[in-house]
Structures are given as structure tokens and as C-alpha cells.
């Protein structure tokens, strides 16, 4: 699916905005703070169903009471999303819905400047990153993650109560066990798929013999659903004391390994950038293989963070995709 145009109304700092997109590469040029990233955010909402950086009330332009996004595709189809301060509504092929229908979601490769710090960032930042990626690869993963997070919030609220008994949290323990083991299995599966090609693609970028891989660590490793449940029950008194759930896949970690050492601390700045580039290319390949769709590529001001060779590599690897780029300077210069 190729985006032909996008129009915004009262979105972030845009009163109105219209962009005609090329089927290959579109450059959005402008100074920092002019709203370039907001255009990518709007595209993400109408292709994935929600923003990658905020909730709807934060998106409405100050002083207004709604926002609207409209997309037109090269095949003539149109879609829109509107938020009135209370509810968000999608209009797809003249049908309204509160959520973006599954069949109208499109895979996206989103490349933010902060992604270049993924290796040195916090475990929660890496979990969030891979959750967003894996949710695109599997609807079941996305649904399990949503239900797990809701159950975790409910259990944590109970743990803050004055008196908590095992029966109070039992139903939430069951749900956390069910969805937690499912999420763990998918995380392990997708990590293995990433590692099948990550090193080879890294080599094509860096042109050396360094070895790179993604390491997935979880307290739930090798646990089945009943063992996961038992662990939650054993930890109840500890959790009551802490006021939150101390065991579970919400504490998982992903680490990048460089020549058999943690990349954070052993890999140079250039090497970490090559690893992230390789990761993006692997993600695009997986989306194409699993979903049988080429993802749209959204690049938010990352060219200024890359040297000339890595810029060329980025362009080369995404030459067969629709790419929409934001930049403060003309990248053709």
C-alpha cells in the first residue's frame, strides 16, 4: 500500500497541513520544532491505530477541541481518524469504528533518533521498542500484551490495599500466567528469528568480522503456565510489602551482544549505529516474510545522526519501500 497524501487539522502545532507523497521517497524539510515529526506520528496513527509517543488529549492543538487526520492511498482508498476530546473514531471505506480494523493496519518501520541510543538505554526502553515491533508481527502477541498490562495494573492496585489475601489476586494471577507465558514464548521466537540474519546484515554494513546478536533474558524462561502461577503465589507477601508485582515478563530484558560481550560498553559509537541499522533491516525483512507486506518506512531526522556510508546503506536497503523522511537539511546536498 502506497500513501498518496496526508492532511492534518488541529494536529499538534498544525492548524492545517497537507502533504503530497511520492511512491518512493518523500522529504519533509524544516527547522526543529516546526512539526515534522507530527506528520510521521499522524501517518502512524492511521496505519497502526495509535500514536508512538502520546495519548490523544496531548495531540490536539492548544486552543482547539478536536483533531483530524486524512490519508489517501494510490489505489484511491481513503481513511481518516478524528478525536473530539473524548473519543477517537476511524472512518475506513465509509465505515466508522472506535479502533483501526486489523485488515486496514499496515506494517511500519519507524526510525527515531532515540533508537540510536537503544543499546545504552534502559531495559524498559528496549522492552517498549521490541513490544512495538513484535506487536506488528503478531496480532496474538499484541492482544496478549494488552491483556497482560491491564491485569498487571489491576493486581498492582490490589497490592496497594490495606489488606490483601491470596483469593483477592488469584484471578489476576491466572491471567498474568496465561498471557505472560504466551508473551515470553513469542519474544523468544522473534528473538531467534532476528538472530538468524542480524549478524549477516551487520557484516554487510560494517564489512568486518565482528559478531553481533540479540540476547533475551527472562525470569519466566522454561516456565510453563502453572509454574508461572506458582511463582506469583510464592511472591505474594513480598509483593504486598513492595506494593507491586515483582515477578513477571514485565521485567524482561533485551541486550545486544558484540563479540561475546555486552555491546553497551564494548562497542563504539559507529558500531552501535551499524547494529541498529542492521536491526531495522532485519525487521523490514521479517515484516515482509511474515505479513507478506512491505512496510512503509518513516525516518525521523536520523540522517543528521549518521555518517555518509551509513546514509547510503540506509537508502540502498530501503530502495524498494515507500520512505518518508524528515530532516533539517536537504539530504541530497
Residues 103-128 have pLDDT tens digits of: 999 999 999 999 999 999 999 999 99
Are residues 87 and 133 located together in one domain of the fold?
no
Q: Of all residues in the chain, what percent carry a pLDDT higher than 70?
A: 99
- What sign results for the dihedral spanned by CA atoms 261, 266, 267, 269? positive
Residue 20 has pLDDT above 80, yes or no: yes
Q: Are residues 124 and 256 in the same domain?
A: yes
| Strand pairing category for 323-327 and 296-300 | parallel
What is the reported pLDDT for 332?
63
Same domain flag for 231 and 137:
yes
- Phi, psi (rounded to 5 degrees) for 246: -90, -10
Q: How far apart are CA 25 and CA 322, in angstroms?
A: 6
**By residue range, what is the domain housing residue 149?**
120-291
CA nearest 42: which of 81, 86, 97, 4?
81
What is the pLDDT, as a whole number, of residue 331? 74
* Averaged confidence pLDDT in the chain: 95
Order of strands across the sheet with 3-11?
Answer: 14-20, 3-11, 67-73, 78-83, 88-92, 95-97
Residues 84 and 211 in one domain: no
Are residue 276 and residue 301 in the same domain, yes or no?
Answer: no
Helix, strand or coil, per DSSP, at residue 92: strand
Domain identity same for 210 and 146 = yes
Check whether residue 182 and residue 61 sit in a common domain: no
CA distance 228 to 259: 33
136 & 49 share domain: no
Q: How confident is the model at residue 207 (pLDDT cuts 50, 70, 90)?
A: confident
pLDDT tier at 41 (50, 70, 90 boundaries)? very high
Average pLDDT over residues 151-175: 95
Can you state the angle between helices 269-291 and 123-137, rounded to 10 degrees?
20
pLDDT in tens, 255-304: 999 999 999 999 999 999 999 999 999 999 999 999 999 999 999 999 88
Q: Residue 98 belongs to a domain with what CATH number?
A: 3.40.50.300
Query: Is the pLDDT reported for residue 211 higher than 50?
Result: yes
Whether 206 and 323 share a structural domain = no
Domain count, the chain: 2
Q: pLDDT band at 140, cuts 50/70/90?
A: very high
Query: Is residue 333 very low, low, confident or very high in pLDDT (cuts 50, 70, 90)?
Result: very low
Sheet containing 25-29: which strands, arranged edge to edge? 25-29, 323-327, 296-300, 108-111
Assess whether pLDDT exceeds 60 at residue 318: yes
Check residue 294 and report its DSSP letter.
P
Amino acid at each position: 500500500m502506497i500513501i498518496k497524501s496526508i492532511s492534518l487539522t488541529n494536529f499538534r502545532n498544525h492548524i492545517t497541513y497537507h502533504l503530497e507523497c511520492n511512491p518512493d521517497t518523500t522529504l519533509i524539510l524544516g527547522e526543529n520544532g516546526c512539526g515534522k515529526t507530527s506528520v510521521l506520528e499522524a501517518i502512524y496513527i492511521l496505519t497502526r491505530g495509535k500514536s508512538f509517543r502520546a495519548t490523544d488529549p496531548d495531540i490536539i492543538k492548544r486552543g482547539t477541541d478536536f483533531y483530524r487526520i486524512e490519508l489517501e492511498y494510490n489505489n484511491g482508498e481513503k481513511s481518516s481518524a478524528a478525536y473530539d476530546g473524548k473519543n477517537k473514531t476511524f472512518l475506513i471505506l465509509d465505515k466508522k469504528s472506535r479502533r483501526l480494523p486489523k485488515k486496514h493496519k499496515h506494517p511500519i518501520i519507524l526510525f527515531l533518533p532515540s533508537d540510536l541510543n537503544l543499546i545504552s538505554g534502559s531495559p524498559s526502553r528496549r522492552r517498549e521498542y521490541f513490544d512495538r515491533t513484535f506487536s506488528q508481527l503478531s496480532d496474538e502477541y499484541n492482544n496478549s500484551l494488552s491483556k497482560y498490562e491491564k491485569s498487571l495494573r489491576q493486581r498492582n492496585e490490589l497490592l496497594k490495599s490495606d489488606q490483601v489475601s491470596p483469593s483477592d489476586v488469584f484471578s489476576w494471577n491466572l491471567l498474568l500466567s496465561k498471557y505472560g507465558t504466551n508473551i515470553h514464548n513469542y519474544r523468544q521466537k522473534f528473538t531467534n528469528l532476528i538472530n538468524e540474519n542480524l549478524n549477516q546484515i551487520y557484516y554487510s554494513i560494517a564489512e568486518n568480522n565482528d559478531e553481533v546478536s540479540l540476547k533475551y533474558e527472562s525470569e519466566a524462561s522454561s516456565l510453563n503456565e502453572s509454574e508461572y502461577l506458582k511463582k506469583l503465589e510464592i511472591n505474594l507477601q513480598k509483593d504486598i510489602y513492595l506494593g507491586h508485582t515483582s515477578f513477571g515478563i514485565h521485567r524482561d530484558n533485551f541486550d545486544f551482544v558484540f563479540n561475546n560481550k555486552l555491546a553497551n560498553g564494548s562497542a563504539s559509537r559507529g558500531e552501535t549505529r551499524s547494529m541498529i541499522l542492521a536491526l531495522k533491516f532485519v525487521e523490514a525483512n521479517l515484516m515482509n516474510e511474515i505479513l507478506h507486506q512491505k512496510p512503509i518506512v518513516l525516518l525521523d531526522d536520523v540522517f543528521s545522526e549518521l555518517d555518509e556510508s551509513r546514509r547510503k546503506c540506509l537508502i540502498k536497503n530501503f530502495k524498494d519501500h515507500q520512505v518518508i523522511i524528515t530532516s533539517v537539511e536537504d539530504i541530497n546536498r
